[in-house]
Amino acid sequence: MKHALIPVLATILLAACSRTQDPLAELQQAGARTLSGQPLARQLPARPLLVNYWASWCAPCREEIPALNRLHQRYGQQIQFVGVALDQPAAIRTFMQRIPLNYPVITGDSLEIGKIMHSQGNTSKGIPYTALYDGEGRLLFSQQGPVSAAALAPELDKALGK
């Protein structure tokens, strides 16, 4: 348990020092954890972060997962991908048995996560919601509704300064 706390504290500290709040740290402060109950560390040195809010009950969310998997294959080394599920852990596991996600997923209390998502700019709280941040937690791009690989790839390139 102690070990589990260290990365969280590190992220929180990191976030407290930087000017903008790190979106991943914010989510973990609200109790979001991986399916095994572990916190998810922000990869260092801080690289761009792609956050995709989804749920297994959300048909449009499911449809974009393959595209995100493909993008993760291409960009996963330079950009940290995180799926944030507003869902029950059991439902997520069942879903991932059929359609695995290539990147880590965190989940928690849907209401709390919904609040964070709202504060991060998704005012209508509808999902899927995809947001791309730079290494310092500044929002570069966000989209509500399904994203295609073709639309997202140029944004990821831009985040990498390409």
> Which residues of the shown chain bind another protein in the complex (CB under 8 A)?
55-62, 86, 95, 98, 110-111, 113-114, 123-128, 144-146
- CB of 50 or CB of 147, closer to another protein: 147
- CB of 38 or CB of 142, closer to another protein: 142
Q: How far is it, in rounded angstroms, from Cα 135 to Cα 9? A: 18
- CB of 79 or CB of 113, closer to another protein: 113
What lies within 8 Å, CB to CB, of 116 at 6+ separation is 23, 26, 27, 30, 32
- CB of 49 or CB of 116, closer to another protein: 116
Question: Which of these, 140, 141, 110, 139, lies nearest to 127 by C-alpha position?
Answer: 110
DSSP helix/strand/coil, 105: strand
Give me the residues paired with residue 85 across strands: 54, 107
> Least CB distance from residue 67 to another protein, whole Å?
14
> Least CB distance from residue 51 to another protein, whole Å?
15
Q: How far is it, in rounded angstroms, from Cα 108 to Cα 110? A: 6
CA angle 160, 113, 9 (to 5 degrees): 70
> Least CB distance from residue 162 to another protein, whole Å?
29
- CB of 14 or CB of 149, closer to another protein: 149
> Least CB distance from residue 44 to another protein, whole Å?
31
Residue 90 CB-half CA count within 13 A: 0
> Least CB distance from residue 64 to another protein, whole Å?
9
Q: How far is it, in rounded angstroms, from Cα 9 to Cα 42? A: 11
